Structure 1
Amino acid sequence: MQRTMLKSKLHRVHVTHSELDYEGSCAIDEALLEAADIKEYQQIDIYNVNNGERFTTYAIRAERNSGIISVNGAAARKASPGDLLIIATYASYTEAELAQFKPQLVYVDADNRIKNQRQHIPVQAA
Structure 2
Amino acid sequence: MQIQVLKSKIHRVKITQAELHYVGSITIDEDLMDAANLIENEKVQVVNVNNGERLETYVIKGERGSGKVCLNGPAARKAAVGDIVIIISYAGMELEEAKKFKPVLIFPDEKNRII
TM-score higher than 0.5: yes
How much has 1:25 moved relative to structure 2? 1.2
1:27 is aligned to 27
| TM-score normalised by structure 1 residue count | 0.87
2:57 is aligned to 57
Alpha-carbon distance between aligned partners in 2 of 1:68 and 1:17, rounded to the nearest angstrom:
7
Matches within 5 A, 1:9-24: 9-24=9-24
Greater radius of gyration (CA): 1
Using CA pairs below 8 Å that are at least 6 residues apart, which structure has the higher relative contact order? 2
Q: How many residues in Structure 1 have an aligned counterpart in Structure 2?
A: 115
Percent identical pairs in the alignment equals 50
C-alpha RMSD of the superposition: 1.0
Please identify, of 82-91 and 94-103, the stretch whose mean Cα deviation from structure 2 is larger.
Answer: 94-103
Report if the CA contact (8 A) 1:24-1:60 is conserved.
no
Which structure 2 residue ranges, 5 or more long, are not aligned?
A: none
| TM-score normalised by structure 2 residue count | 0.95
Structure 1 residue runs of 4 or more that deviate by more than 6 Å after TM superposition: none
Which structure 1 residue ranges, 5 or more long, are not aligned?
A: 116-126
